[in-house]
């Protein structure tokens, strides 16, 4: 069940993009439209599509935070040797089953 949506109030509005900014890079890593995959925050346990995540591009790599509590959920780093997707403690991504 999706939690009613509110942005985290402790996050400055001018520093982040929404999760749609992840579509390009994650489409190479995840099946289907990656912004529609549900992500459950390990801190506040809210579940939202990745499209609603707070995405910070001005970090070393890309940091994806929960839109409810602003906890770091994922980190995405691209290097010359590959792309690394780090999932923080107790955060989960759900990939829907094919019918």
Tell me the per-residue pLDDT of 12-47, one tens digit each, with 9 for 90 and over.
556 889 999 988 888 888 888 889 999 999 999 999
Collapsed DSSP state (helix, strand, coil) of residue 22: helix
Report yes or no on 24 lying in a domain.
yes
Report yes or no on 39 lying in a domain.
yes
Q: What would the pLDDT profile of 41-70 be if each residue is shown by its tens digit?
A: 999 999 999 999 999 988 888 999 999 999
Question: How many folded domains does the chain comprise?
Answer: 1
Q: Which domain holds residue 47?
A: 17-93
Report yes or no on 38 lying in a domain.
yes
- The pTM (predicted TM-score) of the whole model is 0.79
Handedness of CA 80, 81, 83, 88 (dihedral sign): negative
Report yes or no on 10 lying in a domain.
no
Report yes or no on 74 lying in a domain.
yes
Residue, of 2 and 71, whose pLDDT is higher: 71
Contact 92, 27 (CB under 8 A): no
């Amino acid at each position: 069940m999706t939690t009613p949506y509110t942005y985290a109030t402790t996050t400055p509005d001018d520093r982040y993009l929404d999760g749609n900014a992840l579509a390009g890079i994650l489409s190479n890593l995840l099946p289907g439209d990656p912004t529609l995959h549900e992500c459950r925050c390990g801190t506040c346990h809210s579940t939202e599509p990745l499209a609603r995540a707070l995405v910070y591009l001005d970090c070393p790599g890309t940091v994806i935070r929960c839109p409810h509590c602003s906890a770091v959920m994922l980190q995405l780093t691209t290097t010359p040797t590959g792309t690394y997707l780090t999932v923080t403690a107790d955060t989960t991504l759900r990939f829907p089953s094919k019918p």
